[in-house]
Structure 1
Amino acid sequence: MPATVHVYVFDGYADWEPAFAMAGIRDPQYQRQPGRWQVQTVGQRDGVAVRSKGGLAVLPDVAMDALHADDSALLILPGGDSWVDTPELHRGAIDTASHFFDAGVPVAAICGATAGLARAGWLDDRPHTSNAAAYLKGTGYQGAAHYRDMPAVRGPGLITAGGMAPLEFAREIFIELGLYDDEVLEAWYQLYKTGKSEHFARMVRAAEEPARQLPATQRGPRPGKVTRPSGPGKPTAQRRAEREEIDEATGATASETTRDAHVSVRSKRSGGAKAN
């Protein structure tokens, strides 16, 4: 059964803030273990649809009071104006987050949701960030010494980010879950950070690598891994250098390199020959 990441949704939630993370978790392409993950939305009440700040109507998959930490791999708390304007509306979400902390299941909060955690005392002794240090001072929390002026911060059991950093927020979530191998993750991040297509080609090539190395905390068997014939082969760095030299010599553009890499992956997955 797939592991589930739960995303809290409510009227006025900032739908763009968890979007990168949700899309990456649901899309099995390039993941270390395709098919392992799923996303479910969590609402304040059962069967009651909510509308995001961007106007999306969402019918939550599960009610907050029915969510148990044992059934989840991670709880994502998006931001929204109501975290500051009417914080009492999120009491149920904060109570659930507290159960997650107690059970050792990580929580990821961005923008206004960090104020909710600060108000409940969960940031008093944990490294964290938010929209700004001054933004959290109004909550009366005691964790200013642990504030980090960074787009996103990942610590034991907690990920926080400012509302201006949904991309970095997603990256830290992916690291926490071990979603991608390191090179794939870095290429993914640079692709969306810079908008340069060369990073898509890099991501595809990284996903093809037969022996991708991970930090000790993320190592594990890769389902469906194909065993390649043993014997001498060129080091990865050498293969990359040769590929770059060929591209330079032939005048291949970034879009051509991206197209060829994508065709190569599709061809290998279908068992056919690479298209010319």
Structure 2
Amino acid sequence: MTNTTVHLAVYDTLADWETGHATAWLARAGFTVRTVGPVAGEPVTTLAGLRIVPDLPLGDLRPEDSALLILPGADTYDEGDALAPFTAKARAFLDAGVPVAAICGATAGLAREGLLDDRAHTGAASFHLAATGYRGAGRYVEADAVTDGDLITAGPTEPVAFAREIFARLGAYEGKRDAWYRLFHDSDPAAFAELNAREA
């Protein structure tokens, strides 16, 4: 992969815990993480009350400048159409063959956009997505995280599985993803040594 810039969508009420594993460990693997907000220079406030000033506005984001778009969950996905521009951008990414990773409420946004109708996916719960009126219920998978081509989805309790699927799609931590997952998901102490072992 030649492009190593990953874009993280940021907006009011984003769920802080859902993307930290992915973004921190992508940065450690040499990727650049840039934040994308609704308006240039206008801070957003997370569920924890943290203020983030986005690196660039959504309108300036182009699929060809990115390796991946990450959409975290947010309460505002179920409170109207304020985040519809982000799911429309996800469509542009997928149409261009650039991967998108969505977790929790962002999967409901993708459902409303019609992006889950023909792709295997998961989310917070099947009934949550069904409430959007989408036509993809038959493609819902009861799993921690699901990858279907360029689309990765996960529920709100699975940030580690979400990160693992992102790493796999981007080719990060080849040979060490299993150890990474066992360390952070299963608290396996043996995985720490495997993850940190130097290559021979």
The partner residue of 1:106 within 93, 99, 115 is 99
Counterpart CA distance in 1 for 2:173 and 2:162 is 15
Counterpart CA distance in 1 for 2:5 and 2:71 is 15
Give the gaps of 5 or more residues in structure 1: 29-34, 211-276
Q: Which residue type is aligned with residue 81 of structure 1?
A: D
Q: Residues 3 and 65 of structure 2 are in contact (CA less than 8 Å); yes or no, is this contact kept in structure 1?
A: no
Shift of 1:2: 6.0
Does 2:175 align with 1:209? no
Greater RCO, CA 8 A, separation 6+: 2
Q: Residues 14 and 52 of structure 1 are in contact (CA less than 8 Å); yes or no, is this contact kept in structure 2?
A: yes
Does 2:39 align with 1:45? yes
Instruction: Give the number of the structure whose alpha-carbon radius of gyration is greater.
Output: 1
- Spell out structure 1 runs of 4+ moving beyond 3 A: none
Change (3 A) 1:156 1:2: closer
TM-score by length of 1: 0.70
Secondary structure of residue in 2 paired with 1:16: helix
CA deviations over 1:179-202 (Å, ceiling 9, x no partner): 1113x1111111111223321112
Match in the other structure for 1:166: 159
Name the count of aligned residue pairs: 199
TM-score by length of 2: 0.96
Give the gaps of 5 or more residues in structure 2: none
| Cα RMSD for the two superposed structures | 1.2
CA deviations over 1:195-225 (Å, ceiling 9, x no partner): 23321112122xx234xxxxxxxxxxxxxxx
The partner residue of 1:133 within 107, 120, 126 is 126
Q: Which residue type is aligned with residue 66 of structure 1?
A: D
Q: Residues 110 and 163 of structure 1 are in contact (CA less than 8 Å); yes or no, is this contact kept in structure 2?
A: yes
Counterpart CA distance in 2 for 1:154 and 1:196 is 25
The partner residue of 2:142 within 140, 145, 149 is 149
Give percent identity, aligned residues only. 46
CA deviations over 1:24-81 (Å, ceiling 9, x no partner): 11113xxxxxx3x110000000000111111211110010000000000100000011
